[in-house]
Amino acid sequence: MSRYIAAIVIAIVFGLGGWFFVSGPDASVPASKAEHGHDEPEKPHVKLSDDQISKAGIKVELTGPVSISETLALYGVVAPNGERTSEVAARFPGTVRSVAKRVGDVVKQGDALATVESNESLQTYTISAPASGVVIARNANPGEQTAEKILFTVADLSTVWVELSLFPRDAAKVHPGQRTRVIGSDAGLISEGEVVYVAPVGNMASQTRTVRVLLDNAARGWAPGIYVSAEITLSETPVPIAVRNEAIQNLDGQDVVFIRNAEGFEPRPLKVGRTDSDFSEVVEGIVSGVAYATSNSFILKADLGKGEAEHED
């Protein structure tokens, strides 16, 4: 009996140092190893084949230096480029005899738009397109008098203006030459242009000034009349390490990005600093030159959550 009492006392004393007896007075193992095992816990990760990554649309980029932009958000509307828009009237008052073009028709310089019979000479003459473009307005029908009204408006829509409203508090920040991102209401409609004009006077009704951005429209995606938002770049600050905003996911209240390594994609916590519409500065957690998931990284978060749920079950 005294032998086993002694064994218990020894177990208590050495237990303070991390040891305990498992079978008798002479059998002992370290508590840390018996309770926690020899190996460190495996880090969570998502393992996908190259084919699965491709099908999921997951893109991978390297962390590195970028310029973080300070921008000003404005709103406005697309308008025809006024420097490439022609309003067409009759040379001599008369009666419209025929009309050759409708709104939406593409015309070349010199194409016939309509014929008019002069009131004075009773001779018929042709009204031609003064420049190539698209007919965006028509105010002529056979039998009508031309008077002095505008009969057609022809616009070259290969470029357009974006007219934005600028409030007085921001007037000092905007000037010609600034790079501007324009975002349409349709998903994916985004283009870059630059400020070409800031109105010297304001609009009494809206208490705003007009900022005009010249935008390339070769693909004809920007239709005059549609509302848009815009981000005017005010300044740019270089940062040594940044990640795309779409790459950042939230796990248990912590911002993470999914780092690609030999095991797959591992969620890596990070701390961000300055940010703009595309990138966020990394101030802690990731070094430069690390491969990470950008597009569709939310799929990795969902897959990781699914795996954890199955493990709990």
User: Which H or E run contains 116?
Assistant: strand 112-118
Q: Quote the CA–CA distance of 29 and 19 in Å, as a whole number.
A: 6
Strand partners, 227: 77
The architecture CATH gives domain 83-155: Beta Barrel (2.40)
Please give the Cα distance from 48 to 225 (Å, whole number). Answer: 46
Q: What is the pLDDT at residue 30?
A: 40
Predicted pLDDT at 263: 83
Q: What per-residue confidence (pLDDT) applies to 47?
A: 87
Query: Does this model's pTM top 0.85?
Result: no
DSSP character for 46?
Answer: B
Tokens of 219: 């693909």
Are 50-68+238-312 and 71-80+158-236 equal in CATH topology?
Answer: no
Residue 102 sits at the vertex; the CA angle it makes with 90 and 164, to the nearest 5 degrees, is 90
Topology (CATH level 3) of domain 71-80+158-236 = Elongation Factor Tu (Ef-tu); domain 3 (2.40.30)
First to last CA, the chain: 46
Domain boundaries, the chain: 2-36, 50-68+238-312, 71-80+158-236, 83-155
> What's the confidence (pLDDT) of residue 187?
65
Q: Can you read off the two tokens belonging to residue 117?
A: 């019979």
* CATH value of 50-68+238-312 in 1.20.1050.10, 2.40.420.20, 3.10.20.30, 3.40.50.300: 2.40.420.20
The DSSP line for 180-224 is: EEEEESSTT-EEEEEEEEE-SS-BTTTTBEEEEEEEE-TT----T
pLDDT value for 29? 36
pLDDT averaged per 10 residues in sequence order, the chain, 313 residues? 41 35 36 46 78 90 96 97 97 97 97 97 97 97 95 98 97 96 87 97 94 96 95 96 96 93 91 94 96 93 69 51
Q: What is the pLDDT of residue 308?
A: 55
